[in-house]
Amino acid sequence: MDGFRERLDSIRSRLVTAARRAGRSPDSIRLVAVTKTVPVEAIRQAMQAGVTLFGENRVQEARAKAPETGPGAEWHLVGHLQRNKAKEAVRLFRMIHTVDSAELLADLDRHAQGREAPLEVLIQANLAREPGKHGAMEEEVASILSAAAGMRRLRVAGLMILPPYDPSPENSRRHFRALAELAGRIRREGPPSVEMRELSMGMSEDFEVAVEEGATLIRIGRALFGERAGRIGKEKE
């Protein structure tokens, strides 16, 4: 991966600058390296450069890659999870960012029986109310959290958002801010068993704005690994 270390150093530098601009500690933000279509050898090289947290969009890709990367890698699911893949997802991932229904939450809780540590999940919110897009509407989040309060094998650790695509990063700010405000309301009013310590928001184009608005997990793919073969121009990562 020619130039990977330089790209990684650049992203880390920009992260630090954005955090300090917002009066935050850079240590409060973790970089999730998104490895959709990225080969195992490139992931190993990323680990040699100090990257340990990886995000996959699909269960089947993680199934193939995780055993080949060896110890030291932490895997998160950052793509949509179908309920029929919940059992395998529980086995593969430390955290799932994209829970958007009480039914999926119940499936994950059932399959998490026997884990040494509770499965951590984030609730994906569709605050822009985009039709056809995954994520719970704001008014649905409360019922999902209520369902989570009675579950012992998983823990809701925060929220996730994928804002509408916009070529201007600044236009994503209001969506990131809305997610942070929703998390704040949940901390004050939500079930005491639900944590709101994680905000998964920000990708290659807009992660600095997300950091300024409170992101704790930023999901970076293209800016780290380069353009994917066959990538659709209007996707973000």
* d(C-alpha 70, C-alpha 188), whole Å: 41
Which residue matches tokens 């490895």? 35
**Residue pLDDT, tens place only, 130-143:** 999 999 999 999 99
* d(C-alpha 39, C-alpha 42), whole Å: 5
What type of residue is 193? S
Say how many C-beta atoms besides its own lie within 10 A of residue 212's C-beta.
18
Lowest mean pLDDT among 41-45, 60-64, 70-74, 224-228: 224-228
**Quick check: is 196 in a domain?**
yes
What is the pLDDT at residue 14?
98
Phi-psi domain of 156 (left: phi exceeds 0; alpha: psi -120 through 50; beta: other): beta
**Quick check: is 49 in a domain?**
yes
Neighbour-count burial of 53, counting CB atoms closer than 10 A to its CB (0-12 exposed, 13-18 middle, 19+ buried): middle
* d(C-alpha 39, C-alpha 146), whole Å: 39
Percent of the chain with pLDDT over 90: 85
Lowest mean pLDDT among 42-46, 79-83, 233-237: 233-237
Provide the CATH number for the domain around residue 125.
Answer: 3.20.20.10
What is the number of domains present in the chain?
Answer: 1
Long-range contacts of the stretch 1-7 (C-beta < 8 A, 24+): 1/42, 1/45, 1/46, 1/225, 1/226, 4/42, 4/45, 4/46, 4/49, 4/224, 4/225, 5/49, 7/223, 7/224, 7/226
**Residue pLDDT, tens place only, 151-193:** 989 999 999 999 999 999 999 999 999 999 999 999 999 888 7
**Quick check: is 230 in a domain?**
no
Place 147 in a pLDDT band, splitting at 50, 70 and 90. very high
**Quick check: is 234 in a domain?**
no
**Quick check: is 38 in a domain?**
yes
What is the pLDDT at residue 70?
83
**Quick check: is 19 in a domain?**
yes
Q: Which domain holds residue 142?
A: 4-225
Say how many C-beta atoms besides its own lie within 10 A of residue 46's C-beta.
23
**Quick check: is 214 in a domain?**
yes
**Quick check: is 76 in a domain?**
yes
